[in-house]
Structure 1
Amino acid sequence: MMTEYTAHIVIVGGSTGGCAAALAAARMGQNVIITEETGWLGGQLTSQAVPPDEHSHIEQYGCTRSYKRYRDGVRAYYNTHFPLTAEARADSRFNPGSAFVSAISHDPRVGVAVIQEMLAPYVHSGRIRLMMHYRIVSAEADGDRVLSVTVEHAPSGERAILTAPYFLDATDCGDMLPLAGIEYVTGAESIRQTGEPHALPGDPDPADMQAITYCFAMDYKAGEDHTIDRPRDYSFWRDHCPDIWPGKQLSWVAPNPRTLESQQYTLFPKGDLFSLWLYRRLIAKSNFAPGTFESDITLVNWPQNDYWLGPVIDVSEERKLANLDAAKQLSLSLLYWMQTEAPTHDGKTGYPGLRLRKDVVGTQDGLAMAPYIRESRRIRAEFTVIENHLNPQFRKNGRSESYFDSVGIGHYAIDLHPSTGNRTFIDVPSMPFQIPLGSLIPVRMNNVLPACKNIGVTHITNGCYRLHPVEWNIGEAAGALAAFCMQKGYSPRQVRNDPDKLESFQQLLLREGVELQWPTSST
């Protein structure tokens, strides 16, 4: 007999959004079960090892109070546990990695610690039950309601049945949707479907999804040799010349995401060239007392290790595993190429002193616990956000679409990486935007909410709704909505479509520190 657990809310997936959802629901007095496939909660912040991608206003506004608590917690962790320089300690906007992709680029292990601390009061009280190393394998539905989900523990194979009045899908791939029979879409829509200028000109392609990436951390020990074993598929990747690339993928030349012209990169800083070392650096050793770190530590999530030769969603398990393995081989091949064959900044060949930091990501192979998933299955929602709502080219009033049912805000460029349809980067401007509640409401199912990148967006608009603070806000809104419905006896659909109920919920979000619209000055 399988063990059965019950709660007010079951959250499938401990992603960035899943953690925010659990915190919101627990704050409102609900009992929560949250499952996670890996050993780390936090998704793209931790198990995927991606430093936060954020907008330029993040230090003043444009995120929820609890996301700000996370960011403050990261800085407090370094201030408490690390010997910082006097300058770094005095900096209220301390950036551990001094990276230029993020104002708070940090070690994923710190992210794990901060998230655990934020959850601790509710975990210790029993309000939140953590089920680590569990993945969803099936779901039982009756009409327009999900009754239970079954999850399986790795490696024991033990299974458990989870029941609740409300279920949230916070998996990075939207894994609950097909298992529960929830209507969803994948891949790229056509212009005929959405009217988006950057949608496919012909037919839609459900298999055309953004690249995934197995990130890894490395430092540099000059004069030492830390060369890894030659990866199994190194010959393939060393010679791989994609049609959408100016040459070999393993090189210091790649398309500029916005202009698509060839762009010259360098590893370490050299003149005006784009330094990949500084791009997503996790630790700048100069921020810490001498001797604390032997080297900077940087995170490799670059154009060179984007994998787009096949999708990992809605394919056979065999094909999924093969593509995941190929993505790992690409990342390992990139490291080996840099260690052995890459042209160096001083005119030589290879950086054997590059050292794979397995400890930073917590794995034996030195690659992140999970691949960075940029694009999920997406629910068929009551409302779908399209490019024309966000792209300034189509906004005559100088603002993005205003939604009556806003449950949060975000901002980032519409940023799409190469796709499994062999399409190149799409990187176009986006205006500061709102998150409409309608994008969180499935067209039919009444007790399931998306809490991650699986909301009602398109292949195009996913490119700006997928970033860390936006995903956190989505999860927080979903968790709060499920808790609100539990307290009031409403359905999510009723909340959105009844003005009084919606106003009551939006006021709750405001009290909880969720911003519903952008200050005029930011747009």
Structure 2
Amino acid sequence: MKKVLLFVFYIGIFSQVNAQKGQQTDVLIIGGSTSGTMAGIQSARMGVKTMIVEETPWLGGMLTSAGVSAIDGNHSMPSGLWGEFREQIRNYYGGADKVSTGWVSNTLFEPSVGQKVLRKMCDTEKNLTLIFGVKLTDIKQVTNGWQVKFSDGKTIQTKILIDATELGDVAAKVGIKYDLGMDAQSTYNEPIAPEKANKIIQDLTYAAILKDYGANADKTLPKPANYSALEFNCACKEFCDNPNAKRQNPCANLMTYAKLPNGKVLINWPINGNDYYANMVEMSENERQEAIKEAKAVTLRFVYFLQTELGFKNFGLADDEYPTADKLPLIPYHRESRRIDGLVRMNTNHIEKPFVQPQPLYRTGIAVGDYAIDHHHDKNPAAPDLHFVPVPSFNIPLGSLIPKQKTNFIVAEKSISVSNLVNGASRLQPAVMQIGQAAGALAAYSVLNKISPEKASVRAIQQTLLHSKVYLMPYFDVPPTHPNWEAIQRVGATGILKGVGQSVNWSNRTWFYPDSTISTNEFLKGLKDFEPKFTYKGISEQKRMNFAEFEGILSQFKQFLASIKSPLAQSISEKNISSDKQNLPISRSEIAVRLAGLMEKEVDFEGKYK
């Protein structure tokens, strides 16, 4: 009997110890958001044990759970997992033309389909575990990682923690410093910023998915409380009593703006529509829930407006999209959140003129975007009237994902270290998907090399991403199908060859011009930026450089690298040029192929060469 009692006693002690230990993982991602999902996939693909913990029953955040399933930007830059996700969406519906259903976007899909695609992508990763329906309750930093407790009573210990929440709640909970609202003009010398800083963030939106139930159907909602059609005065041209109102569209455009496949429509209308101002970032949970109720009420009033004033009574809330009683999305669409104090802070100057900044952050790029700086402030009368200048396409620096104050911690989603104005361009779905992928790559690399993310090699992370067809440089005219795509991306990240930025309405570009030529002086200037001590012993003229001259310069440059004992000398191979080709001009693409190995020269998080 004593032996039985002792056995039971020891079993009890063993169970208590295991309960205290809880689960362990290499990478823990809190938030199955747009970025969180991509971070999980990338991390798992690199062979490390990864978990995503999400409060709701869905993956995808703004892409799916918030219903913003009309993609903004990056149509011509299908970078990494964004391109993979888009391809699966196209395959589901039967081709690219099947998802180009609305005039706001080239890629539109039903949120429920987006969720299915994301689940399928995650379910194929054997190193990835998904946990739904639990909330973070406590967190503390421990030796070599973090210990996190959740509302189901479980504790998870992890080596690397990624905050992929919508509002940066985990970063705030562990004490990471952050900014909120508009920066003063003087803070980053951004001329279009307001003169004084404030705490105003962008309007949020509680989207809705409507479905066409047939011409004879009447799906009109019961009249919502406090409804007045005047709330939506000038939402469209035919319902407007102000002849000077700006941005007026025909009322029919409200239903074709974000038309989804299968007769559905995304309602996310910014012009006197269902945007709503509530700065929920620092609210308590109860206050957030009250703000969400108000945001939902605005959307339901707007839907009723569409059904009654504009005559779209056959369009009702879709009954086959969300697992919610009210048929509305699971979460609101947050355009803005906390912005952490990161190793670097990207501002609009880095977008407008990336190649002349004191911090050449473009050399550390891990994601690209081509969307304009776009802020929603119509529903807050206290917001200053900002003029958003046209910008070219841009890349996002790796250091913006890493906080200064904490180790073994990475931030993704919209809480990365950028200025308030840059957030208006970096917050869009494709950019955030790439941010998530980079966060996953950085986390897995840190685990595999037993280091904290701030000690990671920028070049190693970039090379990992290149293997997954992630753009480092936002070169619109060099797709991944180009035979020299990777070489051009690598050389672009050195700055030896630079692109040319242009703004074309909402589609912003940076051109590499792979088939064009380059002057000798321009090429020598690029080499000088790379190695300031290099001096060319020859005559340089403002002319198109030919093969013979290029090879002569390259030979001298290789000798210079060897003289300073740089291992990069080995990356430049000798090449015999046929006599009939020596006097022909050499293209930028051909130069990139010969110089691609120079990206091995390490840079710090500011983009400066070590």
Per the TM superposition, whether the score is higher than 0.5 is: yes
Do the aligned residues in 2 keep the contact of 1:378 with 1:456 (CA within 8 Å)?
yes
Residues 346-372 of structure 1: per-residue CA shift (max 9 Å, x gap): xxxx43222211322332212111101
Residues 402-460 of structure 1: per-residue CA shift (max 9 Å, x gap): 52222222211001111654445764422111110111111111111012111011211
Which residue in the other structure is 2:454 paired with?
A: 493
Do the aligned residues in 1 keep the contact of 2:30 with 2:163 (CA within 8 Å)?
yes
RMSD: 2.8
Counting strand residues as a fraction of each chain, which structure ranks higher? 1
Gaps of 5+ in 1: 80-91, 153-157, 242-246, 269-274, 284-292, 345-349, 496-500
Do the aligned residues in 1 keep the contact of 2:426 with 2:432 (CA within 8 Å)?
yes
Secondary structure in 2 aligned to 1:20? helix
- Counterpart selection for 1:265 from 239, 249, 252: 249
Cα distance, 1:205 vs. partner?
1.8
2:71 pairs with 1:103: no
Distance 2:292 2:444 in 1: 36
2:155 pairs with 1:196: no
Which residue in the other structure is 2:551 paired with?
A: none
Within 5 Å, which residues of 2 pair with 1:295-334?
Answer: 296-303=263-270, 304-334=272-302
Could you say if the C-alpha distance between residues 352 and 508 of structure 1 is closer, same or farther in structure 2, counting changes exceeding 3 Å? Answer: closer
Residues 214-243 of structure 1: per-residue CA shift (max 9 Å, x gap): 1111133323321112223325xx4448xx
Within 5 Å, which residues of 2 pair with 1:226-241?
Answer: 226-235=219-228, 238-240=229-231
Do the aligned residues in 2 keep the contact of 1:240 with 1:248 (CA within 8 Å)?
no
2:79 pairs with 1:76: no
Which residue in the other structure is 1:280 paired with?
A: 258
Distance 2:25 2:370 in 1: 34
User: Which structure has the greater CA radius of gyration?
Assistant: 2
Gaps of 5+ in 2: 1-15, 478-508, 511-610
Do the aligned residues in 1 keep the contact of 2:192 with 2:386 (CA within 8 Å)?
no
Which residue in the other structure is 2:426 paired with?
A: 465
Q: TM-score, normalised by structure 1?
A: 0.80
Which residue in the other structure is 2:413 paired with?
A: 452
Distance 1:474 1:380 in 2: 16
Distance 2:137 2:274 in 1: 28
One-letter amino acid of the counterpart of residue 130, structure 2: L
Do the aligned residues in 2 keep the contact of 1:412 with 1:464 (CA within 8 Å)?
yes
Distance 2:392 2:360 in 1: 9
Secondary structure in 2 aligned to 1:6? strand
Distance 2:34 2:238 in 1: 32
One-letter amino acid of the counterpart of residue 331, structure 2: A
Cα distance, 1:255 vs. partner?
13
Could you say if the C-alpha distance between residues 430 and 266 of structure 1 is closer, same or farther in structure 2, counting changes exceeding 3 Å? Answer: same
Within 5 Å, which residues of 2 pair with 1:313-462?
Answer: 313-340=281-308, 342=309, 344=310, 350-391=311-352, 403-418=362-377, 420=380, 421-423=382-384, 427-462=388-423
Distance 1:173 1:426 in 2: 26
Which residue in the other structure is 1:139 paired with?
A: 139
Which residue in the other structure is 1:214 paired with?
A: 206
Cα distance, 1:52 vs. partner?
3.7
Distance 1:309 1:509 in 2: 37
Distance 1:19 1:431 in 2: 28
Could you say if the C-alpha distance between residues 503 and 454 of structure 1 is closer, same or farther in structure 2, counting changes exceeding 3 Å? Answer: same
Which residue in the other structure is 1:84 paired with?
A: none
Distance 1:414 1:334 in 2: 26
Distance 2:240 2:397 in 1: 36
Secondary structure in 2 aligned to 1:404? helix
Distance 1:395 1:17 in 2: 25
Cα distance, 1:305 vs. partner?
3.9
Secondary structure in 2 aligned to 1:147? strand
Do the aligned residues in 2 keep the contact of 1:51 with 1:102 (CA within 8 Å)?
no
Could you say if the C-alpha distance between residues 299 and 308 of structure 1 is closer, same or farther in structure 2, counting changes exceeding 3 Å? Answer: closer
Which residue in the other structure is 2:463 paired with?
A: 507
The one of the two structures with greater contact order (alpha-carbon pairs below 8 A, sep at least 6) is 1
Counting helix residues as a fraction of each chain, which structure ranks higher? 2
- Counterpart selection for 1:5 from 19, 23, 28: 23
